[in-house]
Each structure stands twice: as structure tokens, then as C-alpha cells.
Amino acid sequence: MYGNIIDIKKFTVHDGPGLRSTVFLKGCPLSCVWCHNPEGIDGRIRLWYFERKCIGCHKCVAACKNGALFIGDASPHIVIDREKCINAGSCVEACPTGALSFDGKRVSQKEVVDVLLEDKPFYDKSGGGITISGGEPLFQPEFSLGILKDCKKHKMHTAIETCLYAKKEILEKFFDHVDLFIVDLKIFDPVAHKKYTGEGNGLIKSNFEFLASEKENILVRIPLIPGITATKENIGGIAAFVCKVSNKIPIELMNFNPLGENKYKLMGRTNELLKGIKPLPEEELDELYQAIEDKGVKIVREKKVKRW
């Protein structure tokens, strides 16, 4: 079993209990305009260009047999024709400074599990485990399930971080192999959800109700995007929905992460939405958490607020 991943990050502490290793998969059915991991939206592996590392030697241009690279007029030193790029890798190998690299890699299920097993003593001691995130774990369901099943054989705690946009029969396959479902609920209003994520949220809400009817260990997370998700109306709407489904499911707010903007540059894109946006100050977070508690929902909040 093979799949496309962005990376495996060790010693993460924000993706479930204890010390964990998180597998970030490529591919997501949503296209959130604020996405801080935009390389995870496309399931394919793409070329990244770190302009600051480039010394303008143009060895990559000569190495590319498909004519996907050419010399720029000034800065950047090279320009990538992404329609012609076939990810042959010759340009990456030719680059002496690491200015070119891929945004992911194709790996086997065994390769992933072997890496995850390296830190099992830390999981056991800290009450941690492994988490599959993305992208979206349900986007590569068989690959994700294979990893989870192998990890459960080794008695590791498992979690997935999911937007729940998938067929119900796919979601159901995960029930016996996941100890914690971290569910990202972003926007309650269906029209706004489609506007900002590219898809409606009817399927997501239906899957959430189905999940909550079968499983108890669920955490809801809401990414805070000023002017879009970070409003009392939106937070209150999600909280009321969660409470109606189950008043035992807690909600955690994830403050805005401004670091995602640079990734768009590496992909040869710009994201005007992210320019100038800053994380919410503590007093505004207090108000949004209060909007959740007002609906009778438990909150999860660390002393130092995490940023997604």
C-alpha cells in the first residue's frame, strides 16, 4: 500500500494526548481560502522553489528535459511552468543549494509505520500515540486505514484530524481503528461554508451526527480566521449544533497561524487574504470561548493558546 504524504513530524503535542508523531497526508476535498497547509490540498506531489536559496546558477534549467524551467528576467532567478512539470526530479538533483524540492513524497505503508514505531517508548510513557492529519485522512482512506491498523497491532493510541467530508461508508471504516477523532468544524452557515471552502457543509454535519452516535472520544476544533470564522455568530452556531448532537463533546479554538503565507510563495502563488491578518488577542479569545460556554458546551483551552 502506497500513499502521498507531506511529512511525518515527531514529538508533536497539539494533535492529541501525550507525545505523538503526526503523519501529514496530501489531498483534501476542501479548498479553504485560508489554508495554512496549502500543499496538502492537492493530492499530487508538486515542486517547491525557495527563491532565497537560489544562486542563479541555472543548472536546474539545463537539467530539466521537459522545458518546465526557464530563466526569469530578474528575481526570481527561475520560473516554473507547472503545467509542463512532470516531477522527474532532475532539477532537484542538479540544484546545489536545495532551492528546489518537492512538497511531499510517495511512501509505503510499511515505511510510515516503521518511522512511527521508532518513538513508541515515548508514546507509552507519556500516554501519547500517533495522529494522521493532512490534507485529509479520509481522502486516502485505504492508506490511512492500513497505517492505523498496523499501529493498533502495536498497541499505540491512534487519532485522526478530519473535516468529515467523505462518504459515510468510508468514515464508518475508521470507527474500530481510531481512539480519538479530532473534527475540524469551520463554518456553520452552509452558504458561507461553500464560499470559503469550496463545498457545502451538509455532508459534514450529517457525518458528525453519525460519528457522535457511534463514538464518544471526539474533540471539535474551530480554526479562527478573523472576519470569517472568528465571529460570535459562527462560533455560537457551531457550539449550538455540537451541543444538540451531544453535550459531552468539547470544543477547542485554534488561533490564526500567520506562517502559512510563505508556503503560497513556494508554490508560486499569492494569497491576498492572509496578508495583514494577525492572531486574535486574548480578550477576543475570551469572548469567543464564552460564546461556546453560553451554549452549554465544554471547552478545551491551554494556558498558552495553540495556533493551528
Q: What is the average per-residue pLDDT within 115-140? A: 97
CA 133 to CA 144: how far, in whole Å?
10
Q: So what's the pLDDT on residue 74?
A: 65
Residue keyed to cell 521508532: 118
In this structure, are strands 129-133 and 20-25 parallel, antiparallel, or unpaired?
Answer: parallel
The reply to whether 2-43+105-293 and 47-102 are identical in fold is no
**Is 95 a residue whose pLDDT tops 90?**
yes
**Which residues lie across from 254 on neighbouring strands?**
223
User: According to the model, what pLDDT value does residue 42 have?
Assistant: 93
Phi and psi at residue 54, in whole multiples of 5°? -75, 130
Q: Which of left, alpha, beta for 54 (phi over 0: left; psi -120 to 50: alpha)?
A: beta
Name the pLDDT band for 18 (thresholds 50, 70, 90).
very high
Give percent above pLDDT 90 in the chain: 81
Q: Can you give the pLDDT at residue 235? A: 98
Residue 4: pLDDT above 70?
yes
In a 3-state reduction of DSSP, which class is residue 211? helix
* DSSP structural state of residue 279: P
Please state, in angstroms and rounded to a whole number, the distance separating the CA atoms of residues 91 and 81.
13
pLDDT in tens, 173-213: 999 999 999 999 999 999 999 999 999 999 999 999 999 99
Strands 105-108 and 100-102: unpaired
Q: In the prediction, which pLDDT does 307 show?
A: 42
Q: Where are the domains of the chain?
A: 2-43+105-293, 47-102
- For residue 166, the tally of other CB atoms under 10 A from its CB is 20
Question: Cα(first)–Cα(last) distance of the chain, in Å?
Answer: 29
For the domain 2-43+105-293, what is the CATH superfamily, name and number? Aldolase class I (3.20.20.70)
Identify the pLDDT of residue 270.
Answer: 78
> Contacts by 55-60 with C-beta closer than 8 Å and gap 24+?
55/96, 55/97, 55/99, 57/96, 59/94, 59/95, 59/96, 60/91, 60/92, 60/94, 60/95, 60/99, 60/100
Residue 75: band (very low, low, confident or very high) from pLDDT cuts 50, 70, 90:
low
Report the pLDDT value the prediction gives residue 36, as an integer from 0 to 100: 86
* 308 band by pLDDT with thresholds 50, 70 and 90: very low
Query: Residue 188 — φ and ψ, nearest 5°?
Result: -80, -40
**Could you count the other beta carbons within 10 Å of the beta carbon of residue 262?**
11
Q: Burial, 125: exposed, middle or buried (Cβ in 10 Å; 0-12, 13-18, 19+)?
A: exposed
Q: Which CATH class is domain 47-102?
A: alpha beta
- Choose between 8 and 73: higher pLDDT: 8
